[in-house]
Chain A
């Protein structure tokens, strides 16, 4: 990189990895718009990231050997298992259910890939994505809500159509952020929200090559995760979370309402 450029390699990597401070990211934004070579380089890094994650994420779903699960428990409870089982068992069951859920998802991955955009597999994809990232305390999203505008712009670019992150503050859920997720022919976008009780819900948005007919709301319970999903204007939406059905439905209606209002607005 030429010395007179106000950008360093470090800036570029941090920008691509979503680790740049907001002020600096804004400067980078402004700068790369005039530099097609940098846009290409950024795209290259992000594509590499996506490729690596696609290749290595399936490992996370593999069943864990019993010895490793045992080794993760406190040493005392290993010696005196009877005493600790009372409080340990629910945690283990939850972890096992998650692993099983994600595992099942990956076993059916081939089918998901082949049946692009069918509602049944779409809900499963949404539940798997939600299970994988909602539990991640530190990095559930790639770009945090503090950079919402940048996030939406970036995801819109990657998905090749204009996205909107619905505002769910009125129903008690604040935007956490968003990330790019693997889709079929095209990537999808996930927006994550969290309420005051730290419960998380996520909205998966995906549009695949073929126009698909519109559907009403459908509900699926995938490995304990509730999913409301629908297709609107050949774009699939799925709202996932560990909420009860009625609560999830009311939020799905809010999401739908906001997106419909945007559609109705005259284009700029």
Chain B
């Protein structure tokens, strides 16, 4: 029983794994390589998965570790480039299908802004805001204390807010 993984769940998790890999690598091909390596490792380590626990968080943990081991050097060089470049590494990502022209511009801009975040902040932001993982699960995925997760999240949001020119008070109109 514990000798296997629920592979329908694994397949269902694939789109999210790919998305996280794209955020980690900023590159489509390398993202798919990373997903592939993560899956291979997940099957090799399948006895470490506790039946009933959050499979997605476990897979993110493996992916994070594989990525750290394989790409840390390259990633660091990447980050240095992106600080100066007009478009961050994420600007090279595909824009989703048939976005209208103004949508497209907004997306390009948003991707560039996400790309300008330091890697560790971008990761936390994606896991918290987009994947909606619990903070303690994020801490486990990244292998850091929860306090570190919170301060990275705080800095990521603050930085992104400043890049988008948001000021406290402005969104009030939207919310009423």
Contacts and interface: CB of A to CB of B under 8 A. Distances in A.
Scoring A62, A98, A157 by chain B CB atoms within 10 A of each residue's CB, the highest score goes to A62
A240 to B, nearest CB: 18
A49 interface: yes
A37 B169 CA distance: 7
A6 interface: no
Interface of B is mostly: helix
B15 A55 contact: no
A64 B43 contact: no
B7 A67 contact: no
B22 A59 contact: yes
Interface stretch (A88-96, A206-214, A227-235, A259-267): A88-96
Interface string B96-129: 1111100000010011001000000000011011
Given A67-B36, A72-B14, A48 B98 contact: no
Contacts of A72: 7, 10-11, 14, 39
Given A13-B154, A40-B168, A72-B39, A19 B129 contact: no
Contact of B19 (A56, A94, A142): A56
A44 B171 contact: yes
Interface residues of A, number: 59
B132 A139 contact: yes
B16 interface: yes
B110 A60 contact: no
Contacts of B50: none
Contacts of B130: 49, 52-53, 56-57
A44 B161 contact: yes
B15 A40 contact: no
Contacts of B19: 56, 59-60
Given A13-B153, A60-B15, A72-B39, A91 B7 contact: yes
Interface string B131-174: 01111000000000000001001100100110010101111101
Interface of A: 9-10, 13-14, 17-19, 36-37, 39-41, 43-45, 47-49, 51-53, 55-62, 64-65, 67-69, 71-75, 88, 91-92, 94-95, 98-99, 106-107, 109-110, 113, 135, 137-139, 142, 157-158, 160
